[in-house]
Amino acid sequence: MQISPSILSADFANLEAELKRISDADWAHVDVMDGHFVPNLTIGLPVVEALVKVSPIPLDAHLMIDDPDRWAPGYAEAGCRSVTFHIEAAADPRRLARELRAAGSRAAMALKPGTAFAPYEELLPDLDMVLVMTVEPGFGGQSFMEDQLGKVRQVHEAVVRHGGEIWVQVDGGVSAETIERCADAGADVFVAGSAVYGADDAASAIDELRRLADRHQHP
């Protein structure tokens, strides 16, 4: 069970210090938004390259951008240890996933709430993680979408059938109130933005999330 705090809810004027606050986490989740694929604009490759150099923990890049076939490999080459592209935006997802792995990163595909998993199950051999969005991508601090738990279960079952080490990540509205249900459904990597950076003590928020997830680990 792994925790990946999202720096979207961090202080963008002090990102190096904000990364240090979450050094007990497994990953630092970096939300890249282009103002086209989602109606919000955050940071891009030059900032991510700078973050790789100072982060005490590996970066988990979540690319909410158009044309990931063109842009995503650059994030792997920059040193992100996991790179997630949105399946809705990818032209040739199999080739892209292979390129990400060849560049030394884990390769992951993300599904928006309205996107079904079944048509993409055949991509599993080329993937290291599937991200099930539990809010509409674009903004932090939104309410968790309970109706996505069925998809988490479905992805988990497909991963078990397929074998190998493929992780199931949830992102959006994950907190001490919702993480247990995500873990029960089969998620094993948990992104949390406001639940970690909104807490007085980020380290203890991370500990608490991990404790709750561990208790509900899916068999």
Q: How far is the CB of 163 from Zn ion (least distance, A)?
A: 27
**What are the φ and ψ backbone dihedral angles of 197, each rounded to 5 degrees?**
-75, -20
In the complex with Zn ion, the residue whose CB is nearer, 125 or 135, is 135
- Which residues inside 109-148 make contact with ligand DX5, applying CB under 6 A? 135, 137-142
- How far CA 115 is from CA of 3, 34, 97, 133, 201, in Å, comes to 24, 20, 19, 10, 35
To the query of whether residue 26 is one of the catalytic residues in this protein, the response is no
Q: State the Cα–Cα distance between residues 199 and 92, nearest whole angstrom.
A: 40
To the query of whether residue 24 is one of the catalytic residues in this protein, the response is no
> If binding is defined by CB under 6 A, does position 68 make contact with ligand DX5?
no
Q: State the Cα–Cα distance between residues 218 and 182, nearest whole angstrom.
A: 9
> If binding is defined by CB under 5 A, does position 171 make contact with Zn ion?
yes
Per partner kind, with CB cut-offs from 5 to 8 A, the member of ligand DX5, Zn ion, none near residue 192 is ligand DX5
Q: State the Cα–Cα distance between residues 89 and 110, nearest whole angstrom.
A: 10
Q: State the Cα–Cα distance between residues 135 and 160, nearest whole angstrom.
A: 25
Q: Given 11, 31, 128, 214, which residue is catalytic?
A: 31
Residues with active-site annotation: 31, 171
Instruction: Catalog residues that contact Zn ion under the rule CB under 5 A.
Output: 31, 62, 171
Instruction: Catalog residues that contact ligand DX5 under the rule CB under 6 A.
Output: 6, 8-9, 29, 31, 62, 135, 137-142, 171-174, 191-195
